[in-house]
Amino acid sequence: MPRPVDAAPPGAGFVHTFLPGRVVFGAGTLAQVAAEVEALGVRRALVVATNSARAAADVVEAQLGDLFAGRIDGVAQHVPTEVADQARTTARETDADAVIAIGGGSAIGLAKAIALTAGGAVVAVPTTYAGSEMTPVWGETTAGRKSTGTDLRVLPQVVVYDPMLSRGLPLKVTAASVANAIAHCVEAVWTPKADPITELTAVEGLRALSTGLRDVLLAPDDLDARSNLLYGACLAGSALATAGTGLHHKLCHLLGGTYNLPHAETHAAVLPQVVRANAAAVPQATARLAAALGTEEPSGLAAQLFDLYQAAGVATSLRDLGLTEAQVAEAAAAFKPTDNPVPVTEDLVREILTRAWSGTRP
């Protein structure tokens, strides 16, 4: 199996895949959604929206006119199979050949589930910073087990980023969502498929996200800060889409799918502990990430992430998210080894999860 690389220089050679897609970015771009859908040659568009994005969905529904096929309001995190199956049925019954997802990662995840089996284009209008709008990764949870995969059929063809839509996002939700995006950046520098382009994208994404988070904590409705966060989320998703996932994301998917932990907050609790375990094995990448975060001490990257999350009010303990100590041992035993800068053993996974459970500062 390939081993993760530590930012190999371009002279060493690399392979990078640029994914197709169109990004429309700027305040007020919600008004362009219908035109973007029409440009794709869509006949009937189904709208999927989170409860918090209903007002934006109303705007898009009115824009679509005769292109509007129907609407699904309210989604569930981790995309339960029963929810996905009902959405697929709705797509077939309304003869939809496109899905417009408006909201956070749960709405986009449900749109992807429809596209995976029912086909059709996906247009994403993210209102949080999950970054899944930039990836061909899908996920679905059946009987407490979350399955994930990669398929270009679920990659959104158009992504519309309108920072106006996230100005009212509560700080607690904002910070947790940014923690999710930061995890995309950090892990994208040390997977087996990481390369100089994904690293450059990930490092710039972390800079934008950390700067935007600090600014938005001071002024929650500042449009520049919200724009920075969406820009960072776009880069984070792009980096992850090409570099793939590793130990950190696989742990979070296991915890979320099996124990129904909140997806974004789980990233905040687990990431500093994974960084603590991996940092010494990838010194160049760690140094660049640390600099993007605003610290000159690469060895302190894990602690700086931990401190940033705490300052933003995000839970850094799995215990606070509802995981029991017994479930830590259960999850460690169930986890399957994956490529990682340091070998993944049950002892390593148990140590990471134990520290994440107690919220121990790295």
Residues 133 and 175 occupy one common structural domain: no
Q: Quick one: average pLDDT of 355-359?
A: 97
Band (pLDDT 50/70/90 cuts) for residue 147 is confident
Residue 168 has pLDDT above 70, yes or no: yes
Q: Quick one: average pLDDT of 250-272?
A: 92
Residues 150 and 192 occupy one common structural domain: no
pLDDT at residue 138, as a whole number: 92
Residues 182 and 247 occupy one common structural domain: yes
- CATH number, position 338: 1.20.1090.10
Please report where in the chains the tokens 């800079």 appear, as a residue: 207
**Last residue of a domain, which of 161, 193, 215?**
161
Residues 147 and 174 occupy one common structural domain: no
Q: Tell how strand 145-150 and strand 137-142 pair up.
A: antiparallel
* Contact between residue 146 and residue 253 where contact means Cβ atoms under 8 Å apart: yes
13 Cβ contact list (under 8 Å, min separation 6):
none
| DSSP letter (8 states) at residue 132 | G
Q: Quick one: average pLDDT of 204-225?
A: 96
Residues 93 and 212 occupy one common structural domain: no
**Last residue of a domain, which of 111, 133, 161?**
161
Residues 151 and 184 occupy one common structural domain: no
Residues 181 and 274 occupy one common structural domain: yes
pLDDT at residue 2, as a whole number: 47
Q: Quick one: average pLDDT of 125-134?
A: 94
Residue 218 lies in a domain: yes
Which percentage of the chain shows pLDDT scores above 90?
80
pLDDT tens digits, one per residue of 100-121: 999 998 999 999 999 999 889 9
Q: Quick one: average pLDDT of 58-75?
A: 94
25 Cβ contact list (under 8 Å, min separation 6):
161, 230, 231, 234
Residues 209 and 346 occupy one common structural domain: yes
Q: What is the residue range of 122's domain? A: 29-161
Which percentage of the chain shows pLDDT scores above 70?
96
Cβ–Cβ contacts within 10 Å for residue 18, how many?
Answer: 9
pLDDT at residue 143, as a whole number: 82
Residue 14 has pLDDT above 90, yes or no: no
- CATH number, position 39: 3.40.50.1970
DSSP string over 137-175? EEEEEETTEEEEEE-GGGS-SEEEE-GGGGTTS-HHHHH
Band (pLDDT 50/70/90 cuts) for residue 316 is very high
pLDDT at residue 136, as a whole number: 93
Q: CA nearest 152: which of 166, 168, 137?
A: 137
Long-range interactions of 7-13: CB distance < 8 A, separation 24+: 7/189, 7/194, 7/196, 7/199, 7/282, 7/284, 7/285, 7/288, 8/195, 8/196, 9/196, 10/196
Band (pLDDT 50/70/90 cuts) for residue 141 is confident
Number of folded domains that form the chain: 2
Q: Write the burial class of residue 66 (CB in 10 Å: 0-12 exposed, 13-18 middle, 19+ buried).
A: exposed
Q: Round to whole Å and give the CA distance between 206 and 200.
A: 10
Residue 5 lies in a domain: no
Residues 177 and 126 occupy one common structural domain: no
Residue 302 has pLDDT above 50, yes or no: yes
Q: Quick one: average pLDDT of 197-221?
A: 96
Residues 277 and 308 occupy one common structural domain: yes
Residue 23 lies in a domain: no
Residue 1 has pLDDT above 70, yes or no: no
Residues 144 and 220 occupy one common structural domain: no
**Last residue of a domain, which of 120, 137, 161?**
161
Residues 315 and 189 occupy one common structural domain: yes
Give the CA angle between residues 94, 40, 124 to the nearest 5°: 75
| 146 φ/ψ angles, rounded to the nearest 5 degrees | -95, 125
